[in-house]
Structure 1
Amino acid sequence: MNAPTPFPGKQHAQVAFHRTELNMILSLYGRFVAAGEWRDYGISHLKDVAVFSVFRRTAEHPMYRIEKRPALRLKQGQYVVLGMEGQILKRGNDLRQVLRVLERKLIRAVD
């Protein structure tokens, strides 16, 4: 059987989280679930951005969004954590450093 012929023109690759990035995010997510703070998540891989959304309940707006935008890596940093209202909580090129803004909230939630 012949392989399908790709559609002519530019192929648009999706931005996705790498396995190591996802491990860091899911590790943090698991700690918040264990603390009873977070209940659900969603992942979107789009043309320009990959988004990990965190929900307190399934049917509401995300509490936080962790985004990866490779086009911004030389400018503002490719990773960003956004709050519920869209405010930027932390931005940078090191995902571990960017996620620390949420880890501080976990420490307060456990106390």
Structure 2
Amino acid sequence: MQTPTPFPGRPDPHARTAFDRIELGLILGLYGRMVAAGEWRDYGMSFLKDVAVFSVFRRTAEHPIYRIEKRPKLRGRQGQYAVIAMDGQILKRGGDLKAVLRVLDRKLIRPVE
């Protein structure tokens, strides 16, 4: 049960954007495969008013190599999900999280020598 807001009709000032259980399952599934491959070592999550961010690190004490963002306000435009590289370049954006995460899944596929 959700607690009523003190002022009906106004948005809750404490509301935050978050990943739901299915979204987290997809993200953590990819994360587990990348950890098993030795590519990723740590992650962090931030839940802010307008954006939820899953940051991926190669080592614990450095900048994230990738950010997986959810911005619900962009749902009707270019899509609410985005994968962003360390340099700020948007690698993939869309409305289907599974399709957006494929850009990182391809990093696991390497030619056999």
Q: TM-score, normalised by structure 1?
A: 0.89
**CA distance change for structure 1 residues 40 and 76 in 2, over 3 Å: closer, same or farther?**
same
Distance 1:17 1:56 in 2: 22
CA-based RMSD of the aligned residues comes to 1.9
Distance 1:32 1:10 in 2: 38
What aligned pairs does 1:64-103 form with structure 2 within 5 A after superposition?
64-103=66-105
The answer as to 2:54 corresponding to 1:52 is: yes
Q: Report the alpha carbon displacement of residue 48 of structure 1 after superposing the two structures with TM.
A: 0.2
Q: What is the number of equivalent residue pairs in this alignment? A: 107
Aligned-residue sequence identity (percent) comes to: 70
Distance 1:62 1:105 in 2: 16
Distance 2:105 2:50 in 1: 26
- Equivalent position of 2:12 in the other structure: 11
Q: Report the alpha carbon displacement of residue 6 of structure 1 after superposing the two structures with TM.
A: 6.3
Q: Report the alpha carbon displacement of residue 11 of structure 1 after superposing the two structures with TM.
A: 1.5
More helix by share: 1
Q: Report the alpha carbon displacement of residue 27 of structure 1 after superposing the two structures with TM.
A: 0.3
Q: Report the alpha carbon displacement of residue 107 of structure 1 after superposing the two structures with TM.
A: 1.2
Q: TM-score, normalised by structure 2?
A: 0.88
